Structure 1
Amino acid sequence: MSTDFQQNPPTPSHDSIQPTHLSIWQKMLRWIFFGLGFLFLGLGFVGIFLPVLPTTPFIILATGCFAKSSERFHQWLLNHKTFGKLIKNWQERRAIPRYAKYLAWTMMTLSCAMLFYRLSHEMIWLACTTSTVCLLTTIWMARLPDA
């Protein structure tokens, strides 16, 4: 008998985005998560410079997307010198550093105050809606443990 039938098939690489054993829908979903990971990573990077966009939630979302699509990028974020500790604290204890909470609350307050100051009376509903979302986010974040 030939030994060709006894050999093990090659296993897909961990860096591969599309292992061969997945269905077309699973492959497509992995690519979607991969794209979303880069989108959220980009938004997190922009959030470093813009007070309106928070960095931390986007980095956590990017990590979750990369966990479902690319082990290489997931490990890169987990081992990142700036974001790694933040991500590990979130994954292990759902904890956010106290300074990050204070910074987020300050920026949300300033952003909402600026909306009320700059928007016309016809657009005040937008400032109220944004303030409500920020208030709910503040309450949710206050309930999380400190890292």
Structure 2
Amino acid sequence: MVESVWVGFGSHSVSAGAFLPVLPTTPFLLLASGCFMRGSPRTANWLHAHPTFGPILTDWYQQRTISRRVKKRATVMIVASFSFSMYMVPALWLKGMLLLCLIVLLCWFLRLPETESVAGTAENS
């Protein structure tokens, strides 16, 4: 019973991360990975072996890093989603709170170390 709840949360997290166009995928994948590890190790292994999602999770769990490409995309999407939210919210104090949250989030996120991809560089050919 409890395992199916974890699998359900994980499934919703993967769906939200993959299909919501304005939100970064990485936090949803990390949440899904944690849920699947508790509810279905088989599904967690599938997610970690996935050609698109696996490298992001591996970088995070092994080195606590993200790739430069993921970081750039996520930064653009974070700024875009917060900007849209600030545009839509009518109250000035809410706009201020959103701006404060954006600044705090970006200060944390931009300080995360980046993965150096050396496999495709000219030195390795």
TM-score bracket relative to the smaller structure: 0.7 to 0.9
- Pick one of 31, 43, 53 that aligns with 1:61: 31
**Structure 2 Cα separation of the partners of residues 116 and 44 of structure 1:** 22
Instruction: Tell me the SS of whatever aligns to 2:29.
Output: helix
Quick check: 1:77–1:83 contact (8 Å CA) kept in 2? Answer: yes
Structure 2: tracts of 5 or more residues without a match: 116-125
Quick check: 2:14–2:32 contact (8 Å CA) kept in 1? Answer: yes
Alignment partner, residue 124 of structure 1: 92
Q: RMSD across aligned C-alpha pairs, in angstroms? A: 1.7
**Structure 2 Cα separation of the partners of residues 66 and 142 of structure 1:** 27
Instruction: Tell me the SS of whatever aligns to 1:54.
Output: coil
Alignment partner, residue 18 of structure 1: none
Quick check: 1:112–1:127 contact (8 Å CA) kept in 2? Answer: no
Alignment partner, residue 32 of structure 1: 5
Taking structure 1 as the reference length, the TM-score comes to 0.69
Alignment partner, residue 93 of structure 1: 63
Taking structure 2 as the reference length, the TM-score comes to 0.80
Alignment partner, residue 41 of structure 1: 14
Structure 1: tracts of 5 or more residues without a match: 1-26
Alignment partner, residue 106 of structure 1: 76
Alignment partner, residue 137 of structure 1: 105
Aligned residue pair count: 115
**Structure 1 Cα separation of the partners of residues 55 and 86 of structure 2:** 36
Q: How far has the Cα of 1:127 moved from its partner?
A: 2.5
Quick check: 2:4–2:39 contact (8 Å CA) kept in 1? Answer: yes
Q: Given residue 93 of structure 2, which amino acid in structure 1 is its aligned partner?
A: W
Percent of aligned pairs sharing the same letter: 32
**Structure 2 Cα separation of the partners of residues 110 and 78 of structure 1:** 28
Quick check: 2:89–2:95 contact (8 Å CA) kept in 1? Answer: yes
Tell me which moved more, 90-99 or 132-141: 132-141
1:102-145 superposed Cα distances (whole Å, 9 cap, x missing partner): 2222222223333344433xx23333222222222211112221
Q: How far has the Cα of 1:39 moved from its partner?
A: 1.3
Instruction: Tell me the SS of whatever aligns to 1:144.
Output: coil
